[in-house]
């Protein structure tokens, strides 16, 4: 999608000249940015899990903080893109992935699931 207006030629009335109406397409980059931030969230989460299994707790903590921050930004940018209509499919995917991969949310959800069988 380009940022340039697209020309739509309306059929002229018999006694009127041709009228050209323009329609602007909305950019999709905010939705794509939301999905990209959600991908950073997943990468930070996986990196943190790998680092914690290697006993690198400080680096794992940093990775978790980066994942939580990217997740928050992914959800906020996704909501803006969803409401504004800027790349809605990408925004929905970014919001869902940003919420599901958020480390505090994931910790709470896994704790709730684990307590069902305890």
Is residue 40 situated within a structural domain?
A: yes
d(Cα 33, Cα 20) in Å, to the nearest integer?
Answer: 34
Is residue 52 situated within a structural domain?
A: yes
Is residue 75 situated within a structural domain?
A: yes
Residue-range definition of the domain harbouring residue 98: 27-115
Is residue 64 situated within a structural domain?
A: yes
CB 106 within 8 Å of CB 45: yes
Q: What is the model's pLDDT at position 25?
A: 81
What is the reported pTM? 0.75
Is residue 94 situated within a structural domain?
A: yes
Domain total of the chain: 1
Q: What one-character DSSP code corresponds to residue 20? A: E
d(Cα 16, Cα 101) in Å, to the nearest integer?
Answer: 58
What tokens does 107 get?
């910790």
Is residue 35 situated within a structural domain?
A: yes
Q: pLDDT per position in the chain (118 positions), as tens?
A: 556 666 656 565 667 665 566 777 888 899 999 999 999 999 999 999 999 999 999 999 999 999 999 999 999 999 999 999 899 999 999 999 999 999 999 989 989 999 998 7
Is residue 19 situated within a structural domain?
A: no
Is residue 17 situated within a structural domain?
A: no
């Amino acid at each position: 999608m380009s940022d340039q207006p697209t020309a739509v030629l309306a059929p002229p009335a018999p006694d009127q000249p041709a009228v050209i109406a323009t329609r602007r397409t909305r950019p999709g980059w905010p939705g794509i940015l939301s999905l990209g931030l959600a991908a950073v969230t997943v990468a930070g989460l996986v990196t943190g899990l790998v680092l914690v299994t290697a006993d690198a707790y400080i680096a794992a903590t940093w990775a978790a903080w980066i994942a939580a921050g990217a997740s928050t930004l992914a959800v906020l940018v996704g909501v803006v893109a969803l409401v504004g209509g800027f790349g809605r499919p990408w925004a929905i995917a970014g919001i869902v992935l940003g919420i599901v991969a958020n480390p505090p949310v994931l910790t709470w959800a896994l704790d709730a699931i684990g307590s069902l069988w305890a």
